[in-house]
Amino acid sequence: MPQNRQVTLIKHVIGNPKIEDFAMIETPIPEPGPGQFLVRNLYFSLEPAIRGWLDGKANYFPPIPLGGVVRGPSVGRVLKSNNPDHQPGDIVFALNHWEDYSILDSDTILLQKLQPKGDTPISYYIGPLGGSGTTAYVGLHEIGHIQPGQTVVISAAAGATGGMAGQIAKLRGCKVIGIVGSDDKAKLITEELGFDHAINYNKTPGIAAAVNALAPEGVDIYYDNVGGPTLNEMLLTMKVQGRIVCCGMIADYNRTDNPNPITNLWEVVARQLTMQGFLLHYYQDKVPAALDQLEKWIAEGKIKVMEHITYGIANTPAAYSELMSGKTIGKALVALDTPEDTAK
């Protein structure tokens, strides 16, 4: 009889997540109660934000308790339903858990019914057409107020969100500079994704000086995925009344007890900057339009999709550790083997 394999947290994570921080357990497949529906997960979306829930401290979501199943976004197929809005066969995105089967209801956070178009792979709905793509789109438009002709800088530019943000900014007619951590990534974003310039922060002692040289006109929008020293330097490059879209601060996720100090915040006053943090679930009403536009661009070949797929639920901790050490390019996801596969 098939079981529900689940990845649990067994040690509070310190520094970069390690395989030993997690364990696999098997539990019976749950039955949906009134208003609930059962989903078989197909892909997990590996995201830096999950790191914030692994150290036992309150964050914008409650911490995952020791022994608890790790929370994370996934795409899955509805198997059984007591909810009239969600029928067996439907494909849904939601904030579920790292497990084969999840129970959802209409209030599940980030729940979105997907209507995969044509031959668009379902995995795209977890990356470019999922949280990464819509976060990049909503961040640039709703928070950044992007306009043609602006200068946009993006950190973690070879990451899932950064790579999408850069391509969207190019399609909106902007000059785009990406900040990355290796020459390979620099090459990728300029040669494959169409960024105008790339800066490898590991080879660039002064990021502010490098950005100022490439953009003497000043930066209109800094799309920040990393925080820390990069953000501190970027404060010295902004145009008067520029906007900093605070999407994430991955530089601190592995060192929440000792975050990087920011010392250039005076520039917020002197340059009249706006720094604005946002989380996608507050902008759910903007997602359908974002998705429409992104689907069009992908269908027209105007956006390149970069996926980093790990196969098999058992490899989820290793894949997550790899993501958080900065080794992956593009959207990191886990393609689930089915329990039946494992039983073979």
Q: Which residues bind a copy of itself (CB under 8 A)?
A: 52, 59-60, 227, 231, 240-241, 246-249, 252, 256, 259-279, 282
What is the CB neighbour count within 10 angstroms for residue 75? 28
* Among 78, 76, 123, 69, residue whose Cα is nearest residue 97: 69
Supply the minimum distance, in Å, between the C-beta of residue 283 and a copy of itself. Answer: 10
Nearest-approach distance from CB 275 to a copy of itself, in angstroms: 4
Amino acid at 55: D
Pairing of strands 219-224, 238-246: parallel
Rank residues 255 and 296 by Cβ distance to a copy of itself and give the closer one. Answer: 255
CB nearer to a copy of itself: give 106 or 241.
241
Are the CB atoms for 123 and 306 separated by under 8 Å?
no
- Minimum distance from residue 79 beta carbon to a copy of itself (Å): 34
Cβ distance to a copy of itself smaller for residue 75 or 238: 238
| Secondary structure (3-state) at 177 | strand
Give min distance, CB of 91 to a copy of itself, in A: 29
Q: Identify whether the C-beta of residue 57 lies closer than 8 Å to the C-beta of residue 9.
A: no
CA angle 18, 20, 24 (to 5 degrees): 115
256 vs 342, beta carbon nearer a copy of itself: 256
Token pair in block for residue 23: 């364990």
* Rounded distance between C-alpha atoms, residue 131 and residue 73, angstroms: 9
Quote the least distance from Cβ 3 to a copy of itself, whole Å. 35
Residue number, 157 or 245, with CB nearest to a copy of itself: 245
Task: Classify the C-alpha dihedral 4-10-12-18 as positive or negative.
Answer: negative
Instruction: Output the smallest distance, CB 246 to a copy of itself, in A.
Output: 5
Determine the 3-state secondary structure of 102 from DSSP.
strand
Q: Copy the structure tokens of residue 44.
A: 């997990």
Would you give the DSSP letter of residue 99?
B
Scanning the structure block, which residue is given the tokens 């729940």? 111
Q: Min. distance of Cβ 134 from a copy of itself in angstroms? A: 16
Nearest to 171 by CA among 296, 64, 28: 296
Is the Cβ of residue 284 or residue 293 nearer to a copy of itself in the bound state?
284
What is the full DSSP assignment across 21-34? GEEEEEEEPPPP-T
Q: What's the closest the beta carbon of residue 309 comes to a copy of itself, in angstroms?
A: 27
Residue 204 or 256 with smaller CB distance to a copy of itself: 256
Structure-token pair, residue 344: 């073979």
Residue found under tokens 């357990």 = 25
- Choose between 60 and 311: whose C-beta lies nearer to a copy of itself: 60
